[in-house]
Structure 1
């Protein structure tokens, strides 16, 4: 028993060393595997980061290209607009206007349908700016003098529109009378190329209260005189249309043909002469509208005139908005 005991201890130590060595090797293997896994994860993360960075660079490149194309498009549009403005300016200086009617473009003195449409769009834009300025002043309870300056500016701007219409009527009276420069809803209420002064005064009656007794009498008299002038012009237009129809019918032969050439040319010359009076009717209607606005301005105070101008603008703005809603309505 004494002889075998030392050998037993030695064998146990050897086994323990082997176990420790195996444990260390296992731990090293685990550490090595962990390092390998970490490196694999880092490599995967690096690939994702690189891929994300590449995607970001590509998106930024495309964004720069889109921005460059947009800027170029804006520059091209600006150049075209500048060129159009220069052409229109030269046309006005030379008394030559470009018409959009027909397949061919006519360059004739006084033919200004397209020119008038462009000028009217500018007039309307400036008018809206002035109205916004007036609305701000009214809401801020501006002084009487400040309001008077803005109101007088708007009244003068209305005079500018009537001048534009007068020039355009000499060029293409049918374009102005048809109201193709206005929205569809506005054309429903069109009378001789514009609004009826008497109807506009009726709309304003409830917006201008309270009025003094003298102001009420003045507005009523103005409405009655406007109505009488409108009736007279309407009767004149009806008589002109009837006379024109009879003239054209007189050039027809028994079978509905144009008859002989001499009779045809004579009747057409008479019809052309009668058409020349259309411009006179339009000019008288615009004079009536202009005088009605001026008379209304004289009857009312400055603050009442400001409210009246805002009401007139709101009415026509709603007509234009109604046209937009109608055109954008869902269709089956």
Structure 2
């Protein structure tokens, strides 16, 4: 225990220092109070729930209580108005707060600051944690995944079908243009049966006749409406392109099966009667044209006459060559005393002669093509259009004659016949 005199001296010394510091603080608070009276502090600078600040070690509890607006001590201005100034009570000794109290206050502040956010999300967490909701969300995700997989599989199937269809179209196009037809023993997967070259050619020729008839109908209508030469030239060019297509088909057929092309079974019976080396005779087309494109100038007549003479000469040359080839094949086949050992040798010679007939058919097609092109250069645009329509009408009438002949009424045979 310390003596009483020393204790009293320490208290008086601390009291004098506290009185001096407190008076200065009162003057500061008095000026600050006047500033707050002029402006109402609606928005405080600190939240209301913040804990009270902890005083420093050098500041006593009495000084803190004096600085509080709701404390027991009054400001110097209020004491002057009352006419009395009471002496301040002796300050209490500064007692430091324990560490546990600081931690409790800080944790309380953090809980209050985060209480609003937790309350806003509590309802969502409860709904998410609901087993029914979780099960429904899982089912929706699984259904969406399966739907995406089905869509992806369907798209892949469509792409595979498109690629397969493109491959089939390319195969048909190759068979159509180049004459590379599939044999009976070379059927790829997916084909129920491989068509023969003759069947493919007959089908393509029928399609060509239909398309050419439509184009000639449009060209005839353009002539009747007296369209300009530019429009007529477009129709004439289209007709020439169609004839080029037919010649390519016939060339492929000649390389695949020249007998089918020479027999003319792909054409109507009346056309077959006027068939020449697997097609029409060019000199006959010139005669048909001369009846429908009049009047002609002297230069045009001279050019057409020279063309007709040269075409007839080449026709005669091809006729003699073909007749000689046919006679040679007949002699080889009809040779007497053919031993079985030499039979295949004779057949190989005959096959070589048949292969030469293929070149004759191709030469005849080339002569047809040259004749049409030269007529196109000699005639004007309107005359060339009339020439194309006349040639198309000629073959159309031959097909119509065949149809009428097949459908004619027949007389019944007599009882004695």
Same fold per TM (> 0.5)? yes
Aligned to 1:180: 265
Query: Counterpart in 1 of 2:308?
Result: 223
**Deviations 1:120-164, CA, capped at 9 Å, x for gaps:** 111111111110110111000000100001101111111011001
Query: Shift in Å at residue 331 of structure 1?
Result: 1.1
- Aligned-partner Cα distance in 1 for 2:180–2:327: 33
Question: In the alignment, is residue 291 of structure 1 matched against residue 379 of structure 2?
Answer: no
Supply the distance in 2 between the matched residues of 1:86 and 1:312 (Cα, whole angstroms).
37
**DSSP 3-state at the match of 1:97:** coil
1:93, distance to aligned residue in structure 2 (A)? 4.0
The residue aligned with 2:410 is: 331
Q: Cα distance 1:174–1:267, how it changes in 2: closer, same or farther (>3 A)?
A: same
- Aligned mates of 1:134, 1:311 — CA distance in 2: 11
Measure, in 1, the Cα distance between the counterparts of 2:173 and 2:213. 24
Q: Cα distance, 1:89 vs. partner?
A: 5.7
2:324 aligned with 1:245, yes or no?
A: no
Question: Separation in 1 of the partners of 2:302 and 2:202?
Answer: 38
Structure 1: state its 5+ residue gaps: 1-84, 100-104, 254-258
More helix by share: 1
Deviation at 1:199? Answer: 1.4
- Residue in structure 1 matching 2:360, options 275, 278, 281: 281
Distance 1:106 1:148, change over 3 A: farther
How many Å separate the matches in 1 of 2:186 and 2:380?
47
Distance in 2 (alpha carbons) for counterparts of 1:163 and 1:321: 26
Per-residue deviation, 1:249: 2.0
Q: Is the 8 A contact 1:98 1:115 kept in 2?
A: no
Does the 8 A contact of 1:97 with 1:111 survive in 2?
A: yes
Separation of aligned partners in 1, 2:286 and 2:402:
23
Distance 2:277 2:215 in 1: 26
Identify which of 230, 248, 261 aligns with 1:145: 230
CA contact (8 A) 1:186 1:320 kept: yes
Alpha carbons of 1:204 and 1:323: their partners in 2 closer, same or farther (altered >3 Å)? same
Structure 1 position 90 matched with structure 2 position 171: yes
Matches of 2:312 and 2:244, distance apart in 1? 21
Provide structure 2 residue ranges, at least 5 long, that are not aligned to the other structure.
1-165, 188-193, 412-417
Change (3 A) 1:88 1:231: farther
User: 2: CA distance between counterparts of 1:89 and 1:206?
Assistant: 43
Q: CA RMSD in A?
A: 2.5
SS at match of 1:153: helix
TM-score by length of 1: 0.67
